[in-house]
Copies of this chain bind each other. A is one copy, B any other.
């Protein structure tokens, strides 16, 4: 078996992401340890690691609470994500092989059905694959990591904007723009198309964030 602390970290992370633990909820080492049938040590380590990755915040001598996003931070993350995804698209346009572009194009075409039927569930998965293909094409693991981490921290609100029925079809159309730009090897166009695409989803996200209850501020 893997390390117990890793197990705890992973499960705790899932709970936070899935919303079982909501921002502001406090986590104490002892009950966490009991819940996972381990001692305080690995529980504590799990908390520390999550704190380092920004999912929980710690105040000295005061324990950890599930990190909430202030509206300001959520906006900053979205803005940053736009830049990161845009850069990835630009790099992909310069670096993807003909075969990869072909594959991307084919995948995109195949996902049309789900989009037209507003099948959010299926499309969310296809969307993830689409973006993953772009990251791979960008040939920059560090950039991809930053994007993944950023998305992860924003997905507190399980709410992908793609849960909005109307959003799915538009998303697919926007993907088309990105694909065309990449296929024509135009980095600037690919970046612009991707930025628009992310921003477009971001507007829906902004509504969700703005509608959030008062969040805990992380000292």
Contact of A80 among B49, B73, B143 (CB under 8 A): B143
Closest to A83 in B: B87
Chain A contact surface mostly: helix
Contact A142 B77 (CB under 8 A): yes
Q: Are A140 and B49 in contact (CB under 8 A)?
A: no
A148 to chain B, nearest CB (A): 13
Specify which of B49, B80, B84 is in contact with A48 (CB 8 Å cutoff): B49
Is A141 close to B, CB under 8 A? Answer: yes
Q: Indicate whether A79 sits within 8 Å of B45 (C-beta atoms), given known contacts A3-B60, A60-B2.
A: no
User: What are the residues of chain B within 8 A of A60 when measuring CB–CB?
Assistant: 2-3
Whether A140 and B3, one on each chain, are in contact in the complex, defined by CB atoms closer than 8 angstroms, is: no
Question: A76 to B141, Cβ gap below 8 A?
Answer: yes
Chain B proximity of A139: nearest CB distance (Å)? 8
Is B84's CB under 8 angstroms from A83's CB? Answer: yes
The answer for the CA separation of A2 and B58 in the assembled complex, in Å, is: 13
Judge whether B45 and A80 touch: CB under 8 Å.
no
Is A146 an interface residue when CB atoms closer than 8 A count as contact? yes
The reply to whether A142 and B76 form a contact with Cβ atoms under 8 Å apart is yes
Decide if A52 is an interface residue (CB 8 Å cutoff): yes
In the complex, A106→B200 CA distance in Å?
39
A31: Cβ under 8 A from any B Cβ = no
A48 to B146 alpha-carbon distance, docked (Å): 20
Residues of A within 8 A of B (CB): 2-3, 44-45, 48-49, 52-53, 60, 72-73, 76-77, 79-80, 83-84, 87, 91, 140-143, 146, 150
For the A-B complex with A45-B48, A73-B142 known, give 5 more contacts whose Cβ atoms are closer than 8 Å: A48-B49, A73-B141, A76-B140, A80-B146, A146-B146
29 pairs from A and B in contact (CB 8 Å cutoff): A2-B60, A44-B45, A45-B45, A45-B48, A48-B49, A49-B52, A52-B52, A52-B53, A72-B141, A73-B141, A73-B142, A76-B140, A76-B141, A76-B142, A76-B143, A77-B142, A79-B91, A79-B140, A79-B143, A80-B87, A80-B140, A80-B142, A80-B143, A80-B146, A83-B84, A83-B87, A83-B143, A84-B84, A142-B150
